[in-house]
Amino acid sequence: MQAELTPGPDERAHGQRVLAAVHDAIAAAGGAIPFSQFMALALYAPGLGYYSAGARKFGPGGDFTTAPEISPLFGRCIARQCSEVLAATGGAILEFGAGTGALAETVLEALAAREALPERYLILEVSAELRARQQQRLAALAPALAARVAWLDRLPDAPFTGVMLANEVLDALPCERFVVRAGKALRLGVTRDPHSGALREAVLAEGGAVQAGVPGLPADLDLAALPEGYRGECCPQLQAWIATVGATLGRGLVLALDYGLPRGALYHPDRRDGTLLCHARHRAHGDALRDVGLQDITAWVDFTAVAEAAADAGLTVAGFSTQAAFLLALGIEADVARETDTARRAARAGEARRLLMPDEMGEIFKAIALTRDLDAPLSGFALQDLRRQL
């Protein structure tokens, strides 16, 4: 088992190329780069970063498994929510970062069964390797469904009408890291150890003085309530991402599902090491500076920041709940019960537990709905309304 968890020669060689790019960036910056720059290089450097290169990422043979790969139950629930919105708006579905294409496949098949297909199913994917896998998978759909799928290199210019889907997208936006010392938040970066050459964390400095400004740090964060040495993350790109999406959405819904918390719970004194999470070969850990380019790097989403950015973008926060409440409201239990084969029903029940249980994905993951010019009901948020926590 351990051999499967160890990078092979090709992976190690690729990791060395990514590491060299990070070393070059550190040298060009005079000795240290912000953590956000390191994360952007490690994940998205063209031809090098984790999401840009060819390593398998999703599913049993990859590094982690997302909800659409766990079960089609997830996609069927998403399809029901999409059908409500599309009935009111018409238009298309646009999915950000479609992974293996599992969600697109299930949503299209479920909407076809409901006679509620979108005009188009658009996918915006930054990874050439993942785009190729999606194209191969979705080409096997019924021709009438496969013909509706198209890939984009950027957001459409015209106002978009319909549903935008972002499943586990926000957590992978490059984030800043900070440490609290003497009641101040200090920006953290990445440097090289002068002796070993290994990457290590460092407090950034400018002109010989410690750099106290942390881009994206919430202005209302009570640093005095956080213990000395507290580490955390914030995501300045989150506001820009939602602003861009908001500028594109003419009418409809942006539905995002991700792990995270409202700000008051996210920056809790007990969470003193932050929420940075790395995935490699189905093991999770918090060391972003190892296996550079060979592992996913994420941080929990500040859903209060999402709501604030949505307000700035002229969007309405129309719903916020746990993933469990969202899927239950959309009939996941009835989906399991409809299975007539005993073995298949047992398998679906196990999948549902992974999606719903508090110690699995049910409570850690949240669903948030951002809308513009939409009066249609959002059944996924009928069981639970956590917006007051934002």
Give the pLDDT of residue 59: 46
Give, as one character, the DSSP assignment of residue 377.
-
In tens, the pLDDT along 192-213 reads 988 888 999 999 975 555 555 8
Token match 């009570």: residue?
222
Least confident of 152-166, 207-221, 229-243: 207-221
Q: How many helices (H) and strands (E) does the chain have?
A: 14, 18
Give the pLDDT of residue 279: 84
Nearest to 303 by CA among 361, 242, 219: 242
- For the chain, what percentages of helix, strand and coil (3-state, to nearest 5) are there? 40, 25, 35
Q: Which two tokens stand for residue 234?
A: 């914030």
5 has pLDDT over 70: no
Give the pLDDT of residue 344: 93
150 has pLDDT over 50: yes
48 has pLDDT over 90: no
Distance CA 147, CA 124 (A): 16
Give the pLDDT of residue 62: 47
Give the pLDDT of residue 2: 36
In tens, the pLDDT along 81-139 reads 999 999 999 999 999 999 999 999 999 999 999 999 999 999 999 888 889 999 999 99
Q: Which residue has the higher pLDDT, 59 or 367?
A: 367
Cα-Cα end-to-end distance for the chain: 43
Give domain limits for the chain: 1-390
CA 369 to chain CA centroid, nearest Å: 15
**pTM score:** 0.93
1 has pLDDT over 50: no
240 has pLDDT over 90: yes
Class of domain 1-390 (CATH, top level): alpha beta
Least confident of 182-196, 199-213, 259-273, 365-379: 199-213
Nearest to 277 by CA among 363, 172, 192, 180: 172
- Whether residue 379 contacts residue 80, with contact meaning beta carbons closer than 8 Å, is answered with yes
Neighbours of 87 (CB within 10 A): 11
CA 23 to chain CA centroid, nearest Å: 27
- Whether residue 74 contacts residue 67, with contact meaning beta carbons closer than 8 Å, is answered with yes
